[in-house]
Amino acid sequence: MYRVEKTEIPGVLILTPMVFEDQRGFFYEAYSEKALQEAGIDFMAKQENRIMNEYVGVIRGLHFQNVPYAQAKIVRCTKGHVDDVAVDLRKDSTTYLKWVMVGLSAQNHKQLYIPKGFAHGVISRESHSEIEYYVDETYCPEADRTVRFDDPLIGIKWDVETPILSAKDQNAPLYKESDCNF
Ligand SMILES: Cc1cn([C@H]2C[C@H](O)[C@@H](COP(=O)(O)OP(=O)(O)O[C@H]3O[C@@H](C)C(=O)[C@@H](O)[C@H]3O)O2)c(=O)[nH]c1=O
């Protein structure tokens, strides 16, 4: 069972599982189709991805896959602390090009549900932070798109002095409406 919180962007949800703690530590259901259904989320995982960011200030993103490989994602942080970002690229949305940033940590156990139609990015706030996330569609390099993390049209406040990026993300183009087919 999840506690479900809405964000400023309809469809993007913060899911907090019920955590059972005792003298040994904790237990919780990290992924449950039934709990997702009860939360009104139609999601079937096809792939689980893991990321480790060695340094504070590592940014990955902004990434998405186009239709028919568009991916919904459920992201959680299993070590350290990250800020996870979803950018609304649904052209018919009232929150088109708006973004939300949610703190995910190994302590708060929060998960971010990002529907299809969004770009995703993440920044590490602690060294060696790890995230694990499920996607409901398989990886398809041909459908994969990258938008600049600091695109002024989107204006994400990353609050970082020296971001650390892959060459691909560093050289990513600014957002163009024609980039995505949502
Ligand atoms: C995303 C992905 C990458 N790869 C490979 C391709 C490449 O050689 C290597 C590293 O890929 P990238 O540099 O694109 O990885 P990365 O920059 O970590 O990309 C990730 O960023 C976050 C924000 C997301 O939302 C993810 O979906 C994904 O796009 O991993 C897969 O084999 N399967 C996958 O699902």
51 lines ligand 1 (CB under 6 A): yes
**To test the ligand 1 pocket, which listed residue (139, 168, 169) has its Cβ within 8 A of the most ligand atoms?**
139
Q: What percent of the chain is modeled with pLDDT above 90?
A: 98
Tell me, yes or no, if 133 is annotated catalytic: yes
61: nearest Cα among 106, 99, 31: 99
Residue nearest ligand 1's atom 10 by CA: 166
Provide the CATH number for the domain formed by 2-179 in this structure. Answer: 2.60.120.10
Query: 108: closest CA among 34, 52, 24, 26?
Result: 26
Q: Is the CB of 60 under 6 A from ligand 1?
A: yes
CA of 24 to the centre of ligand 1 (A): 35
pLDDT score at 85: 98
CA dist., res. 101 & res. 98, Å (int): 10
Q: In the prediction, which pLDDT does 169 show?
A: 98
**Which residue ranges make up each domain of the chain?**
2-179
Q: How high does pLDDT run on average in the chain?
A: 97
pLDDT attached to residue 1: 85
What is the rounded average pLDDT of the residues 1-8? 95
* Stated pTM of the model: 0.97
Residue 146 and residue 172 in contact, taking contact as beta carbons nearer than 8 Å: yes
What type of residue sits at position 37?
A: Q
Out of 50, 51, 169, give the residue to mutate to test ligand 1, the one with the largest number of ligand atoms within 8 Å of its CB: 51
* Nearest Cα residue to atom 2 of ligand 1: 139
pLDDT tens digits, one per residue of 41-65:
999 999 999 999 999 999 999 999 9
Strand partners for 60: 122
pLDDT tens across 82-136, in order? Answer: 999 999 999 999 999 999 999 999 999 999 999 999 999 999 999 999 999 999 9
Please report the pLDDT score of residue 182 as a whole number.
85
Q: What is the ipTM of this complex?
A: 0.97
As a whole-number percent, the residues of the chain with pLDDT over 70 amount to 100
Atom of ligand 1 nearest to the CA of 139: 35
Rounded CA-CA distance 44/59 in Å is 27
Whole-number Å distance between alpha carbons of 11 and 31: 18
Strands (E), the chain: 2-6, 13-17, 20-22, 25-27, 47-53, 59-65, 73-79, 81-88, 99-105, 111-114, 118-124, 129-135, 144-146
Q: Which residues lie closer than 8 Å to 125 by C-beta, 6 or more apart?
A: 56, 80, 81, 82, 83, 103
